[in-house]
Amino acid sequence: MKTPDDELKTLADQEYKWGFVTDIDSDTIPKGLSEEVVRLISLKKGEPPWMLDFRLKAYRHWLTLVEPRWAHLDYPPVDYQDAHYYSAPKPKKKLASLDEVDPELLETFGKLGIPLSEQKMLAGVAVDAVFDSVSVATTFKEKLSEEGIIFCSFSEAIREHPDLVRKYMGSVVPYTDNFFAALNAAVFTDGSFCYIPKGVRCPMELSTYFRINQAQTGQFERTLLVADEGSSVSYLEGCTAPMRDENQLHAAVVELIAFDDAKIKYSTIQNWYPGDKEGKGGIYNFVTKRGACRGRNSHISWTQVETGSAITWKYPGCILLGDNSVGEFYSVALTNHHQQADTGTKMIHIGKNTRSTIVSKGISAGRGQNSYRGLVQIMKGATGARNFSQCDSMLIGDRCGAHTFPYIDVRNSSATVEHEASTTKIGEDQLFYCNQRGIDLEDAVGMIVNGFCKEVFRELPMEFAVEAQKLLNVSLEGSVG
Amino acid sequence: MARTAVVKGKIPPWASNHAEISRRRLGNGSTWFDPVREEALRRFEALGLPTTRREEYRFTNLAPLGRVDFRRAEGVKAPIETERIEKLLFGDRAAVELVFVNGVLDEALSSRGDLADGAVVMPLSTAIRERREGVEEHLGRHIGMETNFFAALNTAILDDGLFLHLPDRCILEKPVHVLFHTTTVDQPIAGHPRNLLIANRGSAAVVIESYAGEGETPYWTNAATEAVVGEGSRLTHYKQQLESENAFHISALDVTQSASSRFVTFSISFGASIARSDIRIDLDGEAIESDMNGLFLARGDQHVDHHTTMNHAGPRCESREFYKGILAGRAKGVFTGRIVVCKDAQKTNAFQANRNLLLSDDAAIHTQPQLEILADDVKCSHGATVGRLDEEALFYFRSRGIDPEEAEKMLIGAFAGEVVEKIDLPLLRERVAALVSARLAGGATGKETA
């Protein structure tokens, strides 16, 4: 009879399911990073001078910075000259309809389950599909524009809505923010831009699928989402990447801005290639995400499910500037094999009666290292601020690690801050109980882990919740001793 | 793990004079200690006074310490405030009481009662001179000199302090008390008291360390204690920090516990303008129990920082950490509590709680409870809270005719009480409780403009 261990080993050894490489001609500029490359990117994208200016300022600032090494991560130094900074599927001609899109590309999206064809009408999802770095197709645009919503690629926004972009770009994450934000500002190739006008409730869930395709191309996405007074929007971001042996660098920037009474819900599923069982390859994911609650009663909610990438360095945060604004962070981070994650959130309470909730679930299996690193800061004027944080870790196997590094700074006596953290493993008796009732080990582990993460999955939009559960089962099952 | 190298600190004005003293002490007395002293001196000179660029000192700016030209405390003659000191003594309720005034043992104030057979309690300087046994094996071997500038400095200078040695199965009924008192002098002085506590197999003792002083002139106490808790032994350690509010107090406590031992420590921190304590306990064996408790109360412009590490190296150990802080005026509190569970430390139970009370809008607290866990079969948790007095509780008191000030005092007293009542020594418990009330009466609450 197969012992549970063997069975789990088989499961744990499961290879990355989404590893396929789409063969399309790519327009790639040579490896390396210099002022020339920055100019070239800007030129290739036909950008206005102010944009080039922004990039160059960022690049020059980047040169003065050193890569941060304070995270609980262990990886060889990244050679920033050894990557391509621009890669776009070759534009054959301007696309008039979906039929003209490269069939191979469509097939890729099909495999990823992106409803780019008619079915997506039923799915009710507008997809701005970013294939490598250039937006290839944008759907549902008409319907959205009826409501006055702008949802387009970043390059298009630079062309069509320069005033909005200039006004908000870099206002939440300035290029001086950190090493990776500066790098992104200098070389970002595309991304998504979204503007919800006053009082509009976005009628559908907006979604972008990022996908790194070209080997050795750093993916530098930039997302800017502005929700004007009284509006609300739910935004989904999901990622899968093909299998590659060399580490690929990814340094995205996401900026969210919510004005009075606006609500933004930003959900992410990150399932990039985590490297093989020996820890070879995999994506380096260094992301800067931040939301600013600028108005009264504004609300920003981050939900993330991080199962991929060899290295994850990501701290989505909220600046709670407006009175009564609310920030939320719900996270599931899973590390298996040799994956490492250092992730968490920052909640900066500035306005009165601001509230924040942090729920973080870390799961470590194999030789995975999982760290929660967070900051809750209550500034002097944040009278009546309230925070609740809960960070739970689950360890599966005896060679993984779970770490918690919360920072709590309180400068106002009327604030109430609570932080709790716990670490446990899947109990043998829990597994035995399930086995005894005819549930096999694989399902039992899946059930227990999904139960552990329930508080976070509950926050995900429906389709995502289902996908997240499946993803978790695939990436984690196994490794139970 | 990838860690940034230690950021080099500043060279303070007193560095050269301290290094010189350290060099002079080389070969003076016991040559066996020279290599340790030399190493400490090297680390002291290499590290430099830590700046806020070092993560461990991010919230504690020690620059003021680098602006004062401290002289060595030892030998500075000053009138002794016998009355003030006597209030802090335990007299015949302690087995042995050693009193150091400005770094020098005061025989008149010290007292020696009956000791159990074989137990040794003496000034560390005497122990270094007269006996190698125990001292050589442990002195300077447990303290984290590699990264701790102050511990390295203390070891390089090594003033006097308490040496306690308990042979196998030796049990001390009464506590051992050591008091370091700094008297008023007209120039800034620095002292580097050092204690070494060794409890061999199956022994038991209670040790109280007290630090006090007064005066307007700033002075600096840089204390270090090493404790070795042998197999099956039991050591309870209290530290009272009652320095003058113009003083700097830096201290290190490094404990190594062997299998089945139990160690309990309390850090009671009320004094000093800047107080910083580094506490590290290594659970180096199986089935160890360890308790770390702390209570800090700061007002005015006081700054109090505790940096604790509970290092679980052996399996089946249990540790509990409980720290409470009360901050009034413009006081600032820092708490970093790290629990490390090593790969082989299976079946570990580790708990940590840090609760803080902010009594004023100008007070601030930085708390970082941290877990680093590398074993899977463990139960670990930590919790941190920050808040102010419960308005409903205050209202309840008022509705029963108790005036708000009294109500506040009672509530704060009860908050502190959770730590105070854990003190197992009735006399000390009463004294600490009295100190808390005295502080509150002295206007620890936010209303007073300290």
- Does the structure show a pLDDT above 90 at B281? yes
Interface contact B376-A409, CB threshold 8 A:
no
Residue of A nearest to B59 (CA): A409
The pLDDT of residue B16: 87
The pLDDT of residue A122: 31
User: A427: pLDDT confidence band, cut at 50, 70 and 90?
Assistant: confident
User: A430: pLDDT confidence band, cut at 50, 70 and 90?
Assistant: confident
Interface contact A73-B363, CB threshold 8 A:
no
User: What share of chain A has pLDDT > 70, as a percent?
Assistant: 76
Q: What are phi and psi of A365, to 5 degrees?
A: -135, 170
B28 touches chain A (CB under 8 A): no
- Give the range among A175-189, A441-455, B183-197 with minimum mean pLDDT: A441-455
Strand B220-229 and strand B234-242: pairing? unpaired
Q: Helix axis angle, A179-187 relative to A49-63, nearest 10°?
A: 150
Total number of domains in chain A? 1
B42 touches chain A (CB under 8 A): no
Interface contact A409-B364, CB threshold 8 A:
yes
User: Is there a contact between B393 and B411 (Cβ–Cβ < 8 Å)?
Assistant: yes
Please report whether residue A481 resides in a domain.
no
The pLDDT of residue A468: 74
The pLDDT of residue A250: 85
Read off the pLDDT of each residue in A2-31 and give the average, rounded to a whole number: 55
For residue B262, give both structure tokens: 């139990």
The pLDDT of residue A64: 92
B2 touches chain A (CB under 8 A): yes
Interface contact B55-A70, CB threshold 8 A:
yes
The pLDDT of residue A203: 83
B2, B382, B386 member nearest A69 (Cβ):
B2
B378 touches chain A (CB under 8 A): yes
- Does the structure show a pLDDT above 70 at A13? no
User: B449: pLDDT confidence band, cut at 50, 70 and 90?
Assistant: very low
Between B277 and A240, residue with greater pLDDT: B277
Q: In B, residues 137-196, which contact A (CB 8 Å cutoff)?
A: none
User: What share of chain B has pLDDT > 90, as a percent?
Assistant: 66
The pLDDT of residue A44: 83
Could you read off the pLDDT of A155-169 as tens digits, one per residue?
Answer: 889 999 999 999 999
Please report whether residue A273 resides in a domain.
yes
Residue of A nearest to B351 (CA): A422
Could you read off the pLDDT of A384-420 as tens digits, one per residue?
Answer: 999 999 999 998 888 888 999 999 999 998 999 999 8
The pLDDT of residue B263: 98
Residue of A nearest to B367 (CA): A408
Mean pLDDT of chain A: 80
Interface contact A398-B377, CB threshold 8 A:
yes
**Highest mean predicted confidence (pLDDT) among A7-11, A86-90, B202-206:** B202-206
The pLDDT of residue A72: 86
User: What share of chain A has pLDDT > 90, as a percent?
Assistant: 40
Burial of B414 (0-12, 13-18, 19+ CB in 10 A): exposed
- Give the range among A126-135, A439-448, A450-459 with minimum mean pLDDT: A126-135
- Does the structure show a pLDDT above 90 at B320? yes
Residues on chain B touching A415 (C-beta within 8 angstroms): 358, 386-388
Please report whether residue B410 resides in a domain.
no
Interface contact A419-B384, CB threshold 8 A:
yes
A378, A393, A419 member nearest B369 (Cβ):
A419
Residue of A nearest to B334 (CA): A409
d(CA A263, CA B374): 39
User: B445: pLDDT confidence band, cut at 50, 70 and 90?
Assistant: very low
Residues on chain B touching A74 (C-beta within 8 angstroms): 1-2
Read off the pLDDT of each residue in B361-382 and give the average, rounded to a whole number: 90
Element holding B276 (H helix, E strand): strand B274-283
Q: DSSP strand E in B124-203: where? A: 162-166, 176-182, 189-191, 194-199
pTM equals 0.84
User: Is there a contact between B228 and B256 (Cβ–Cβ < 8 Å)?
Assistant: yes
For residue A366, give both structure tokens: 């194999």
Domain boundaries, position B181: 15-284
Residues on chain B touching A393 (C-beta within 8 angstroms): 371, 373
User: A99: pLDDT confidence band, cut at 50, 70 and 90?
Assistant: low
Please report whether residue B138 resides in a domain.
yes
Read off the pLDDT of each residue in B240-253 and give the average, rounded to a whole number: 95
Read off the pLDDT of each residue in B20-40 and give the average, rounded to a whole number: 84
Between B61 and B442, residue with greater pLDDT: B61
- Does the structure show a pLDDT above 60 at B370? yes
The pLDDT of residue B215: 82
Mean pLDDT of chain B: 90
Smallest Cα distance from A312 to chain B, Å = 14
Smallest Cα distance from A383 to chain B, Å = 9
Residue of B nearest to A405 (CA): B370
Smallest Cα distance from B66 to chain A, Å = 26
Interface contact B373-A403, CB threshold 8 A:
yes
Could you read off the pLDDT of B224-239 as tens digits, one per residue?
Answer: 999 999 999 999 999 9
SS3 letters across chain A: CCCHHHHHHHHHCCCCCCCCCCCCCEEECCCCCCHHHHHHHHHHCCCCHHHHHHHHHHHHHHHCCCCCCCCCCCCCCCCCCCCECCEEECCCCCCCCHHHCCHHHHHHHHHHCCCCCCHHHHHCEEEEEEECCEEEEECCHHHHHHCCCEEEEHHHHHHHCHHHHHHHCCCCCCCCCCHHHHHHHHHCCEEEEEEECCCCECCCEEEEEEECCCCCECECEEEEEEECCCCEEEEEEEEECCCCCCCEEECCEEEEEECCCCEEEEEEEEECCCCCCCCCCCEEEEEEEEEEECCCCCEEEEEEEECCCCEEEECCEEEECCCCCEEEEEEEEEECCCCEEEECCEEEECCCCCEEEEEEEEEEECCCEEEEEEEEEECCCCCCCEEEEEEEEEEECCCCEEEEEEEEEECCCCCEEEEEEEEEECCHHHHHHHHHCCCCHHHHHHHHHHHHCHHHHCCCCHHHHHHHHHHHHHHHCCCCC
User: Is there a contact between B244 and B272 (Cβ–Cβ < 8 Å)?
Assistant: yes
User: A75: pLDDT confidence band, cut at 50, 70 and 90?
Assistant: confident
Read off the pLDDT of each residue in A23-28 and give the average, rounded to a whole number: 60
Interface contact B370-A404, CB threshold 8 A:
yes
Interface contact A423-B379, CB threshold 8 A:
yes
Interface contact B386-A408, CB threshold 8 A:
yes
User: A195: pLDDT confidence band, cut at 50, 70 and 90?
Assistant: very high
Residue of B nearest to A411 (CA): B364
Chain Cα centroid distance, residue A191: 13
Residues on chain B touching A410 (C-beta within 8 angstroms): 356, 358, 364-366, 386
d(CA A146, CA B254): 69
Please report whether residue A13 resides in a domain.
yes
Residues with Cβ within 8 Å of A437's Cβ and at least 6 positions away in sequence, in order, are none
Residues on chain B touching A420 (C-beta within 8 angstroms): 381-383
- Does the structure show a pLDDT above 60 at A11? no
Collect all residues from A whose CB is shorter than 8 A from any CB in B.
69-75, 378, 380, 393, 395-425, 481
Could you read off the pLDDT of B161-195 as tens digits, one per residue?
Answer: 999 999 999 999 999 999 999 987 788 999 999 99
The pLDDT of residue A152: 83
- Give the range among A4-18, B277-291, B380-394 with minimum mean pLDDT: A4-18
User: What share of chain B has pLDDT > 70, as a percent?
Assistant: 95
Smallest Cα distance from B328 to chain A, Å = 9
B388 touches chain A (CB under 8 A): yes
Domain boundaries, position A153: 4-476
User: A139: pLDDT confidence band, cut at 50, 70 and 90?
Assistant: low
Please report whether residue B150 resides in a domain.
yes
B356 touches chain A (CB under 8 A): yes
A406, A409, A411 member nearest B369 (Cβ):
A406
The pLDDT of residue A91: 46
Residues on chain B touching A481 (C-beta within 8 angstroms): 376
Please report whether residue A341 resides in a domain.
yes
The pLDDT of residue B4: 46
Smallest Cα distance from B227 to chain A, Å = 28
d(CA B100, CA B119): 21
d(CA A61, CA A183): 9
Q: Is B317 helix (H, G, I), strand (E, B) or coil?
A: coil
Q: Classify residue B49 by its DSSP letter.
A: B
Please report whether residue A400 resides in a domain.
yes
Read off the pLDDT of each residue in A86-109 and give the average, rounded to a whole number: 54
Please report whether residue B291 resides in a domain.
no
User: What interface predicted TM-score (ipTM) does this complex get?
Assistant: 0.80
Read off the pLDDT of each residue in B400-408 and give the average, rounded to a whole number: 92
Please report whether residue B418 resides in a domain.
no
Smallest Cα distance from B375 to chain A, Å = 5
The pLDDT of residue A97: 52
Read off the pLDDT of each residue in B95-121 and give the average, rounded to a whole number: 88
Interface contact A407-B446, CB threshold 8 A:
no
Read off the pLDDT of each residue in B255-265 and give the average, rounded to a whole number: 97
Between A334 and A272, residue with greater pLDDT: A334
Nearest residue to B371 via CA among B291, B288, B310: B310
Q: Which of B374, B376, B385, B415 is the best mutation test for A, with the most CBs of A within 10 A?
A: B376
**Highest mean predicted confidence (pLDDT) among A68-82, A205-219, B373-387:** B373-387
Please report whether residue A156 resides in a domain.
yes
Tally: H helices and E strands in chain B: 9, 22
Please report whether residue B327 resides in a domain.
no
The pLDDT of residue A129: 53
Total number of domains in chain B? 1
